Copies of this chain bind each other. A is one copy, B any other.
Amino acid sequence: MQGIQNRSIGVFDSGLGGLTVVKELRREMPHESIVYFGDIARLPYGIKSKEQILNFSIQNTLFLLKQKVKAIVVACNSSSSAAYHFLRDHFGIPIIDVIMPAVEAAACVTHTGRVGLIATHATVASQAYERSLRKINPNLRIFSRACSLFVPVVEEGWLEDPITEQIVRRYLGGLRHKNIDTLILGCTHYPMLKASIRKVLGPRVQLIDSARPSVKKLKSILIRQGLVSKSKRKGELRVFVSDMPRNFKQVGEKFLGEKLHKVQIVRGF
């Protein structure tokens, strides 16, 4: 029988953005195998109700558990804010969100204590980031802004583009005047817009994307619980999606930074 250490790490997201977390996982822990589930049939989560996002997140977690994963990364900000505590409290394996690790990283690097947050409407409205920041350091101030057009712009592939820069400027204009020195990119799609965001906010604002801190947190938990893979070979990556749209491979490979193989459709979501 296979040891529990050699089981895969599960990652789910509403779409393909969570592949940015997989990319970082494969860089940081190359011997781990990964099962990814992208709930494309029901994306985007960001505009849906908290109850609906919780239902979806439970179903996604159950799907990954059936694949016998040893830990799960909730690589979706909407799910992290609407469902993380429920999932952590009701399932018996380590579950990592993408909010708390990003907030810890932001609290660590800010000098002025003025932190910006950009995310989808659902994430901003949930105030999950504010609650997490207050737990760490009640003196930090957070300024948030929902940026509804960022995801569609990234999926359209308009990355370094004058129209995108104007859209970024429109959304971030207000934050520029808040004198933030740190900005949390609270959506897995947003790192693709880093160039435009840097142009608008200038080089003094540090951008925090949650992939790296979340993966670091997972790694330390796996080490502590003796769950690190004993394999010496490069880990496998299996990708499941609940639907496969036209530009799936093209967008997915942009997020993942490598070729996408072994993609399977799972119906019934």
- Residue-wise interface mask of A (71-111) relative to B, using a CB-CB cutoff of 8 A (1 in contact, 0 not): 00000000000000000000000000000000000000000
- For window 148-180 of chain A, which residues contact chain B by CB distance below 8 Å? 148-149, 151-153, 155-156, 163, 166-167, 170
Give the copy number.
2
- Are B244 and A49 touching (Cβ within 8 A)? yes
Q: How large is the interface on A (under 10, 10 to 19, 20 to 34, 35 or more residues)?
A: 20 to 34
Q: Which residues of B contact A48 (CB under 8 A)?
A: 40-41, 243, 245
Query: DSSP majority for the A interface?
Result: helix
Judged by a CB distance under 8 angstroms, whether A42 is at the interface is yes
User: In the bound complex, how far is the Cα of B121 from the Cα of A155, in angstroms?
Assistant: 12
User: In the bound complex, how far is the Cα of B149 from the Cα of A52, in angstroms?
Assistant: 25
Give the nearest-CB partner of A161 in chain B.
B170
In the assembled complex, 8 residue pairs joining A and B whose CB atoms fall closer than 8 Å, in A order, are A41-B52, A42-B42, A49-B244, A121-B245, A148-B156, A149-B149, A149-B152, A163-B163
